[in-house]
Structure 1
């Protein structure tokens, strides 16, 4: 475990329990810390993002749309909570099952006569593999009708699904919001376009980031479905050829891009499942910058951040963010990081 994982604690007051819209702000009014490897941090607001990018730079966004993955059912007389984590096939998922001992191969009854069967162990403990008794084309509609968003203990209310969507989300599949993109508004996207800052999309469907009881996913046991389209690979190649920056909006985007990257700095279209874990020893072939939220000390995302800036600098940044009152989690503030050769 890295030094950064052990060296800070988040005060409860910095857990963003309310979306910006419920704090009297617009989405793009959240605060933004800009971090470069060998310089002091800059403090701004996300609506000023265009000041930190140049004409010809490229923002790559994750267009995955959040589904409500929490379902409730019964196995015999026992109430069971099922939190979907990752689609394995159209009707099979890895899921966190919360309840007393659940019997394998016995049905869990859901609304409308639908059942799921627990098949056995999932990709990693405590996830289990489950199968739905639904026609393949009806799964998303069923989940949208009967599921609920994941609500963590720091949230003050059970927020509706719309609060867990980015404005550009279009491909259903994430069980938690790719939250780095939440602060974007259509107003800001239009401003970026007007200044010649380009955008492109990948898809990566996020899995559960937390398994309850202080249990976190292991990086290699956390595969996620992704796609880097040919059109996105092409615009990245063009951006790199012009010497401009490729900035990933979220750790999910970094994971997808670097999975599809070529060692010569190129990138190809790619799709499938990635278990790539990025840390300070991982070369970044494609990504020059990262826009992300502030992460918990237990989260493996901190390993990825150390691929952009050194561990010591990362720790200083987080301590400064705590001192200045930056907010954590899905509804919190953002951090824009540039790796060393992209400072200017």
Structure 2
């Protein structure tokens, strides 16, 4: 991580509650606009996003829906086990972080009268164990939604309802941490953008578990494999926009990683589905995304490396210092950043 992207974030700027609980509509959060070429910043509000996009531009959203990925269960001897789902591997199998002493391969964790999971492979030299649930597909998700809680970071003390961790447009369950860049959108704003002629398109990238609770484990960005899908409709709309000189604006680092993972050897975006561990830095030449909508990221986070592919670390550092001075809120319940 570049030292230019190391900074001190005052504790009071960690957004600990959703904007709606602060009396602000989700699309009325502040928005810092960074000119990626000049590095100049403008301070606005998110509901004015349509002022910064043009007819023919394509706005790409992540349609993945957040699941309540923290499950409480018991081992056979009554020991409490907290399970944090990390990555879906099949309809029944998940990688998970298990917070309990002495969990062994073959152990069964009981979550509810109808839901259990067997530990197929217990974690030893890596954070995640492999679990096989006794249910699959819709039946498994029904149980997860009934008994689970959203992943909550250390700066969030209140267990907010799952609805606060959803975007208004999310359709496909699978993200264990909220794809938060899309959170500020309202249907009203999306309709206004469409009326202006901005094309709204969707991809899916199901976010994995990055918050591992303590310093015992550390995952490098390339170790974080996440499942993604890009429909042909989206790929075709993006190819057309690029041919006609319009911008492609990715909503979130997840969307950037999905799009850039689906580029062929000639630099053309293709419909694709699979797993990506693409790690984007300032040295990466982006093939698809021209602009980015994202939240504000903590000091030295790997997301800042990705932002450096859009705007120089020096400009980013100056802009982040401005955001701190302007009292922007950080993280998933915080304010927004448009780089264009």
TM class, shorter-chain normalised? over 0.9
Aligned residue in 1 for 2:68: 68
Aligned residue in 2 for 1:41: 41
Aligned residue in 1 for 2:111: 110
Q: Out of 251, 254, 257, which is 1:249 matched to? A: 251
- Which stretches in structure 2 are left out of the alignment for 5+ residues? none
SS of the equivalent of 1:89 reads: coil
SS of the equivalent of 1:112 reads: coil
Deviation at 1:255, TM superposition (A): 0.4
**Over aligned residues, Cα RMSD in angstroms?**
1.6
TM-score, structure 1 as length reference: 0.94
Aligned residue in 2 for 1:17: 16
- Whether 1:32 and 2:31 are equivalent positions in the alignment is yes
Deviation at 1:263, TM superposition (A): 4.8
SS of the equivalent of 2:269 reads: coil
SS of the equivalent of 1:77 reads: coil
Deviation at 1:123, TM superposition (A): 11
Seen in structure 2, the aligned counterparts of structure 1 residues 123 and 162 have a Cα distance that, compared at 3 Å, is farther
- Whether 1:207 and 2:208 are equivalent positions in the alignment is yes
TM-score, structure 2 as length reference: 0.95
1:1-344 equivalences under 5 Å are 1-5=1-5, 7-37=6-36, 38-75=38-75, 76-120=77-121, 125-214=126-215, 215-338=217-340
SS of the equivalent of 1:201 reads: strand
Deviation at 1:4, TM superposition (A): 4.1
Asked if 2 retains the 8 angstrom alpha-carbon contact of 1:216 and 1:298, the reply is: no
Deviation at 1:302, TM superposition (A): 1.0
Asked if 2 retains the 8 angstrom alpha-carbon contact of 1:3 and 1:311, the reply is: no
Asked if 2 retains the 8 angstrom alpha-carbon contact of 1:124 and 1:221, the reply is: no
Seen in structure 2, the aligned counterparts of structure 1 residues 298 and 77 have a Cα distance that, compared at 3 Å, is farther
Asked if 1 retains the 8 angstrom alpha-carbon contact of 2:39 and 2:315, the reply is: no
SS of the equivalent of 1:111 reads: coil
SS of the equivalent of 1:10 reads: coil
Seen in structure 2, the aligned counterparts of structure 1 residues 146 and 196 have a Cα distance that, compared at 3 Å, is same
Deviation at 1:64, TM superposition (A): 0.5
SS of the equivalent of 1:18 reads: coil
Aligned residue in 2 for 1:342: none
Deviation at 1:115, TM superposition (A): 1.9
SS of the equivalent of 1:211 reads: coil
Seen in structure 2, the aligned counterparts of structure 1 residues 87 and 101 have a Cα distance that, compared at 3 Å, is same
Seen in structure 2, the aligned counterparts of structure 1 residues 244 and 121 have a Cα distance that, compared at 3 Å, is farther
Deviation at 1:78, TM superposition (A): 1.3
Q: 1: CA distance between counterparts of 2:209 and 2:124? A: 12
Asked if 2 retains the 8 angstrom alpha-carbon contact of 1:4 and 1:297, the reply is: no
Corresponding residue pairs, total: 337
Seen in structure 2, the aligned counterparts of structure 1 residues 135 and 172 have a Cα distance that, compared at 3 Å, is closer
SS of the equivalent of 1:309 reads: coil
Q: 1: CA distance between counterparts of 2:167 and 2:138? A: 24
How far does the alpha carbon of each residue in 1:110-160 deviate from its partner, in whole angstroms, 9 at most, with x for none?
A: 111422122225798212111111244411111011111112221131111
Q: 1: CA distance between counterparts of 2:310 and 2:181? A: 16
How far does the alpha carbon of each residue in 1:35-88 deviate from its partner, in whole angstroms, 9 at most, with x for none?
A: 123232110000110111111111000000111111011112211100001101
- Which stretches in structure 1 are left out of the alignment for 5+ residues? 339-344
Q: 1: CA distance between counterparts of 2:159 and 2:122? A: 30
Deviation at 1:323, TM superposition (A): 1.5
How far does the alpha carbon of each residue in 1:177-236 deviate from its partner, in whole angstroms, 9 at most, with x for none?
A: 110000000110111011111110000101112111145531111000100000000000
